[in-house]
Amino acid sequence: MEKVINHLYEIERKATQILERANAEKTELFEENEKAIAKMEADIAQETENKIRQMNEQAEQELEKEKQRLIDKCNKQLADLESNYRNNHDNLVDNVFQSIIQL
Give every CB contact of residue 93 below 8 A, 6+ residues apart in sequence.
none
Q: What is the pLDDT of residue 88?
A: 86
How far, in Å, CA of 17 to CA of 30, rounded? 20
> What is d(CA 101, CA 103) in angstroms, rounded to the nearest whole number?
5
Rounded to an integer, what distance in angstroms lies between the CA atom of residue 95 and that of residue 83? 18
Mean pLDDT, the chain, as a whole number? 94
pLDDT in tens, 63-83: 999 999 999 999 999 999 999
> Counting every residue, how long is the chain?
103
**CA atoms of 4 and 67, how far apart (whole Å):** 92
Question: Average of pLDDT values for 46-51?
Answer: 98
Residue 103 is predicted with a pLDDT of 67
In this prediction, residue 96 carries a pLDDT of 87
